[in-house]
Chain A
Amino acid sequence: MRPHPDRTGATRFGKRGAVAIAIASLVGLAAFCWPLFAHVSSHSNQAHAGDAPWVMAVIIPLLLIALLGEVTTGGIDAKGVALLGVLGAIGAALRIPSGGTAGFEPTFFLLFPAGYVLGRHFGFLLGALTLFASALVTGGVGPWLPFQMMAAAWVAYGAGLLPRRQGRLELVILASYAAVACLVYGLLVNMWFWPYGAGTTTSFSFQPGAALGHNLARFLAFDLTTSLGFDIPRAVLNAVLVLTVGRPVISALRRASHKAAFGAAVDVPLPAVAGAPVVRTTPTTTGQVR
Chain B
Amino acid sequence: MAGRLTSLRVAPLHPVAWWAWAILLAAAAARITNPICLGLILAIAGWVVVSRRPQSTWARSYSTLLRLGALVVVIRVVIQALFGQRIPGHTLFTIPSIALPSWMAGVTVGGPVTADALVGAACQGLRLAAILGCVGAANALVSPFRLLRCVPAGLYEVAVAVTVAVSFTPQVISSLGQVRDARRLRGRAISGLAGVRGLAVPVLEGALERSLALAASMDSRGFGRRAVSVTRQRVASATTLAGLLGLAVGAYGVLDSGAPPALGLPIVGTGALLVIAGLITTSVGGRTRYRPDRWSGREWCTVLVSAAALAAVVVVGRHDAASLAMPVYPLSFPAVPPLAVVGLLLAALPSIVAPRPIDTAVR
Q: A37: which B residues are within 8 A, CB to CB? A: 255-256
- B165-A82 in contact (CB<8A): no
- A77-B106 in contact (CB<8A): no
Does A172 sit within 8 A of B, measured CB to CB? no
Q: A78: which B residues are within 8 A, CB to CB? A: 215-216, 218-219, 223-224
Does B172 sit within 8 A of A, measured CB to CB? yes
Q: Per-residue 0/1 for B4-26: is the Cβ within 8 Å of any A Cβ (1 yes, 0 no)?
A: 00000000000000000000001
Q: With A69-B279, A82-B214, A201-B84 known to touch, is A27 a contact of B244 (CB < 8 Å)?
A: yes
- Max count, chain B CB within 10 A of own CB: residue among A74, A86, A217: A86
- B255-A85 in contact (CB<8A): no
Does B352 sit within 8 A of A, measured CB to CB? no
Tell me the complex Cα distance, A87–B169, Å: 10
Q: A93: which B residues are within 8 A, CB to CB? A: 169, 172-173, 176
Q: B268: which A residues are within 8 A, CB to CB? A: 55, 58-59
Partner-contacting stretch, out of A158-166, A182-190, A243-251, A271-279: A243-251
Residue of B nearest to A287 (CB): B225
- A66-B243 in contact (CB<8A): yes
Tell me the complex Cα distance, A196–B71, Å: 13
Tell me the complex Cα distance, A72–B282, Å: 11
Q: Per-residue 0/1 for A268-290: is the Cβ within 8 Å of any B Cβ (1 yes, 0 no)?
A: 00000000000000000011111
Q: Per-residue 0/1 for A54-97: is the Cβ within 8 Å of any B Cβ (1 yes, 0 no)?
A: 11101100110110111011101111011111111110110010
Number of interface residues of B (CB under 8 A): 113
- B325-A253 in contact (CB<8A): no
Q: A92: which B residues are within 8 A, CB to CB? A: 165-166, 169
Does A180 sit within 8 A of B, measured CB to CB? no
Q: B27: which A residues are within 8 A, CB to CB? A: 54
Does A51 sit within 8 A of B, measured CB to CB? yes
From B79, B128, B252, A30 is in contact (CB under 8 Å) with: B252
Residue of A nearest to B140 (CB): A140
Does A265 sit within 8 A of B, measured CB to CB? no
- A65-B279 in contact (CB<8A): yes
Does B121 sit within 8 A of A, measured CB to CB? yes
CB distance from A221 to the nearest CB of B (A): 5
Does B235 sit within 8 A of A, measured CB to CB? no
Number of interface residues of A (CB under 8 A): 98
From A26, A69, A137, B158 is in contact (CB under 8 Å) with: A69
Q: Per-residue 0/1 for A112-147: is the Cβ within 8 Å of any B Cβ (1 yes, 0 no)?
A: 000000000000010001101100110111110000
Partner-contacting stretch, out of B38-46, B181-189, B192-200, B289-297: B192-200
Does B233 sit within 8 A of A, measured CB to CB? yes
Does B65 sit within 8 A of A, measured CB to CB? yes
Tell me the complex Cα distance, A255–B226, Å: 30
Does B54 sit within 8 A of A, measured CB to CB? no
Tell me the complex Cα distance, A289–B286, Å: 12
CB distance from A141 to the nearest CB of B (A): 6
Does A197 sit within 8 A of B, measured CB to CB? yes
Q: A142: which B residues are within 8 A, CB to CB? A: 65, 68, 132, 135
Q: A218: which B residues are within 8 A, CB to CB? A: 106-107
Tell me the complex Cα distance, A88–B155, Å: 17
Does A38 sit within 8 A of B, measured CB to CB? yes
CB distance from B153 to the nearest CB of A (A): 10
From A132, A201, A253, B80 is in contact (CB under 8 Å) with: A201
- A286-B225 in contact (CB<8A): yes
Tell me the complex Cα distance, A59–B275, Å: 11
CB distance from A240 to the nearest CB of B (A): 8
- A24-B244 in contact (CB<8A): yes
Q: B244: which A residues are within 8 A, CB to CB? A: 20, 23-24, 27, 63, 66
Q: B64: which A residues are within 8 A, CB to CB? A: 139-140
Tell me the complex Cα distance, A90–B121, Å: 40
Tell me the complex Cα distance, A272–B228, Å: 29
Known: A24-B244, A85-B162. 14 other contacts (CB 8 A): A27-B251, A56-B251, A62-B276, A66-B275, A73-B157, A76-B157, A82-B212, A86-B214, A139-B61, A142-B65, A201-B120, A248-B201, A249-B200, A289-B230
Query: What are 8 of the A-B contact pairs (CB < 8 Å)?
Result: A20-B241, A30-B248, A85-B160, A89-B164, A89-B167, A90-B203, A139-B64, A201-B117
Residues of B bordering A, CB below 8 Å: 26-27, 30-31, 58, 61, 64-65, 68, 72, 75-76, 79-80, 83-85, 87, 103-108, 117, 120-121, 124, 128, 131-132, 135-136, 138-139, 144-145, 154-155, 157-158, 160-169, 171-173, 176, 193, 196-197, 200-201, 203-205, 207-208, 210-212, 214-216, 218-219, 223-230, 233, 236-237, 240-241, 243-245, 247-248, 250-252, 254-257, 264-265, 268, 271-272, 275-276, 278-279, 282, 317-318, 321, 324-325
Going nearest first, the 9 A-B pairs with the smallest beta carbon separation are A85-B164, A39-B257, A88-B165, A89-B168, A140-B61, A82-B215, A86-B211, A133-B165, A140-B139
